[in-house]
Amino acid sequence: MKFSFQFVIAFLTACITGAIFYLVFRFSSLPVFVIVSLLWFAVLTFFYLAFQEKRKDHTLLLTLSTALSSLLLFSIIDHSGLRIFFAVFVSLLLGILFGFRENDTLPLGYARRPFRRFAMMVWVFNAYAFFSCLFAIGVLFQSEWPRGLEFVLVPSAGIIGALIAGEIWKMYVKGEEKIFLFWRAITGLFIAQIFWSIRLLPFGYMVSGVLLTWLWYMLQMLIRFHLREPGIVWKKQLPFLIGSGLVFLFLFIFYIRWI
C-alpha cells in the first residue's frame, strides 16, 4: 500500500505541475500567477506531509524552492516551444522527487546515495533558475530602477548561492553550524563578486546563469570535499577541473552570442 500510495502522489504531482504551467502560460497576468503559485505551493506542501515515510534528504524546502525557481525561470523564457519542453521537464522532475524510493535491502548510506545525488542536482537546477532570474531582472528593469538595483541583485545572488550550497553540504557532511556558516559566508561573497562581474559582460541572462552556476558548482563541490575526510584529493579532481575549463572555452567560442 505504501508503494502504490507513493507513486499515486508522484503521478498526481506531475499532472498538477503540468496544469499549473498551462494556466500560467494561458493566462499571462500577475494575479493569476500569484494565485496559481500559492495554490501550487499549498498542494505540494500537503502532498509532502501526506508521506508516511519521509526520507532524510527530501526536505520541504527542496520541494518548494524547486517550484518557485521553476516558475521564475518559466516566466523569463520567451520561446513557446522551449516553454512546453520546460513544463514537461519540471513535471517529470517533481514527479521523480516524490516517487523516488530508497532500497531498503541495502545499507542506509548506499540506499540514500542515488537520491542524495538526485537531490543535489535539483538544488543545482534551483541555483541556475534563481541566478538566471536575477540576471533577467537586471536586464529588464535596469532603466526603470537604475540606482538601487545593484544593491539588491548582487547581495541576493550571494545569499542564494550560500544558502543552496549549505543545503547540499548538509546532505554529505556532518559538522558544526559555525563551520557551515563560515563557508557559506565565503561562498556568498565569492558569488556576489562573480555575479557583479558577469553582469557587466554582454551575455544574455540565460547564458550568464549557466556561467555563474558552473563556477558556483565547482566552488561548493571543492568546499564540500574540503569538509569531508580525507579532504580535496587533487589528483581525482584535476580531470574534472580541466574538463570544465575546456567546456567553458567551447561555450565562449561556439555558443555564446555577443551583442
Domain assignments of the chain as residue spans, ordered by start: 1-101, 108-259
> Has residue 109 got a pLDDT over 60?
no
Angstrom distances, CA of residue 157 to CA of 181, 182, 255: 17, 17, 24
**Length of the chain in terms of residues written:** 259
- Average pLDDT of the chain, as a whole number: 80
Angstrom distances, CA of residue 146 to CA of 135, 137, 205, 206, 237: 14, 11, 17, 21, 41
> Taking the model in full, what pTM does it have?
0.84
Cell 556568498 found at? 188
Angstrom distances, CA of residue 49 to CA of 52, 69, 85, 98, 115: 8, 21, 29, 11, 19
pLDDT at 78: 81
pLDDT, one tens digit per residue, over 31-47 is 888 888 899 999 888 88
Cell 558577469 found at? 198
Cell 548510506 found at? 109
> Has residue 48 got a pLDDT over 90?
no
Place 258 in a pLDDT band, splitting at 50, 70 and 90. very low
> Has residue 230 got a pLDDT over 70?
no
